[in-house]
Amino acid sequence: MKRPLYYFFFLLVGTVAVAQNTETEIAEVKAACLDYINTFYEADTTLAYRSVHKSVRKTGFYFNDEKQSYSQQLEMPFDDLIALAKKWNADGSRTGPDSPKEITVFEVSDKTANAKVRAVWGIDYLSLMKENGKWMIVNVLWQSPPKFSASGMVSN
């Protein structure tokens, strides 16, 4: 009778350890995403150096209200991201205490993760990789606040 309890105990301890590890990984991914948002909100490029990989590929679409259409695909390598972050909200007029900082983590694996952030500029879908024990953003697909949005999962 002691043997089944012994196995149950180790199974329980292992499950708790995995759950705690997963929670830690999710929190670290969220922290990298928050650094990304605050890089622009606070015009603090040190946050980008901490959470955005220098090989990042950032691409997206800006909605032009005058033309009532989206831009062509815009590319932003790391150096341009840093330059934009320095000036985009340098005077603090683009964001305030109620500005959105929504982060949704879709999946975290050993080396990769995917998340979505909502900020004043719109929506960004982020791909992250774990490098040297640290989560870094390597891909960003963004657009201005959507004029419409639909969601749903398609499965086979």
Residue 65 lies in a domain: yes
pTM: 0.82
Residue 129 lies in a domain: yes
Retrieve residue 50's tokens.
Answer: 């901490």
Residue 58 lies in a domain: yes
Residue 155 lies in a domain: no
> CA-CA distance, 117 to 40, in Å (whole number)?
13
CATH number of the domain residue 52 falls in: 3.10.450.50
Asked whether the beta carbons of 40 and 121 are under 8 A apart, the reply is: yes
> CA-CA distance, 27 to 88, in Å (whole number)?
27
Residue reference for tokens 């490029």: 45
Tally the domains of the chain.
Answer: 1
User: What are the tens digits of pLDDT across the range 118-135?
Assistant: 999 999 999 999 999 999
User: What are the tens digits of pLDDT across the range 16-62?
Assistant: 444 456 899 999 999 999 999 999 999 999 999 999 999 999 999 99
Q: Containing domain of residue 40, as a range?
A: 2-143
Residue 156 lies in a domain: no
What is the per-residue pLDDT for 42? 97
Residue 111 lies in a domain: yes
**Other Cβ atoms closer than 10 A to 54:** 13
